[in-house]
């Protein structure tokens, strides 16, 4: 089944403890992106990647890092999480610039930073 | 920066009625507008998109209307069903589709 898989789905952590949310897609998509969803604010883009080793900032990149060493994986790294990063995170992918403009989203990762 | 989506927070309709969900945007540079549906506990799901050089596009039971003069986008759902209950987001994308700006969403409640 074509899908975007995120792990963990739920995580409670403490301020300053580094964590990584993994994202993997099995559709050979070039483009991948991370969003956070907060009440009243909708989804906001954190980082995106046009292809392997090509990443760029979205609208709210502060406090996050990403890497794209392989086409299928796009992990989101929080080096020193803070309570304001408590949110619901979504990873998404699509074919690429010339492909259909259809983003496939993962099921989400709910992160709580205490 | 760009903003998209001055949604009403909740829209309640009866099963079988037509639903209209509205969205306003501020950035005329968006090249695509997309509607997503998000069911509880799931990620957003693509419904339909429209290019900025179009004013109407139809899908299965859904129609998107774009009025560039007043920077307004709407999603019409015909014969709304209980399975349509979800949060609906509009989003604007640049030409290369690298950046997507989402609205805050409208919750559609369908009662039998």
CB of B8 within 8 A of CB of B106? yes
pLDDT digits (tens, 9 = 90+) for A12-65: 999 999 999 999 999 999 999 999 999 888 899 999 999 999 999 999 999 999
Whether the pLDDT of residue A103 is over 60: the answer is yes
Neighbours of B41 (CB within 10 A): 9
The alpha-carbon gap from A15 to the nearest alpha carbon of chain B, in Å, equals 25
CB of A102 less than 8 A from some CB of B: yes
Q: Average pLDDT in the B95-109 region?
A: 85
- Angle B8-B13-B15 from CA coordinates, rounded to 5°: 150
CB of B45 less than 8 A from some CB of A: yes
| Cβ–Cβ gap A103/B46 under 8 Å | yes
pLDDT digits (tens, 9 = 90+) for B2-44: 455 545 589 999 999 999 999 988 777 788 899 999 999 899 9
CB of A24 within 8 A of CB of A73? yes
CB of A90 within 8 A of CB of A38? no
B103 vs A contacts (CB less than 8 Å) = 42
Integer Cα distance of A48 and B19 in angstroms: 33
């Amino acid at each position: 089944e074509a899908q975007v898989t995120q792990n963990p789905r739920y995580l409670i952590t403490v301020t300053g403890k580094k964590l990584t949310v993994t994202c993997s897609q099995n559709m050979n998509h070039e483009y991948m992106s991370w969003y956070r969803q907060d009440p009243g604010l909708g989804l906001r883009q954190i980082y995106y990647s046009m292809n392997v080793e090509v990443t760029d900032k979205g609208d709210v990149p502060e406090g996050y890092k990403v890497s794209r060493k392989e086409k299928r994986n796009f992990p989101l790294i929080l080096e020193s999480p803070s309570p304001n990063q408590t949110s619901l995170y979504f990873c998404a992918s699509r074919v690429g610039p010339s492909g259909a403009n259809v983003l496939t989203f993962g099921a989400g990762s709910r992160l709580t930073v205490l | 920066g760009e903003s998209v989506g001055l949604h009403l927070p909740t829209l309640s309709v009866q099963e079988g009625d037509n639903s209209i969900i509205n969205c306003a945007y501020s950035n005329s540079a968006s090249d695509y507008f997309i509607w997503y549906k998000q069911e509880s506990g799931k990620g957003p799901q693509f419904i339909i998109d429209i290019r900025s050089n179009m004013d109407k596009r139809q899908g299965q039971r859904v129609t998107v209307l774009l009025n560039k003069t007043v920077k307004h986008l709407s999603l019409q759902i015909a014969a709304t069903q209980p399975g349509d209950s979800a949060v609906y987001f509009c989003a604007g994308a640049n030409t290369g589709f690298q950046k997507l700006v989402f609205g805050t969403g409208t919750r559609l409640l369908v009662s039998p």
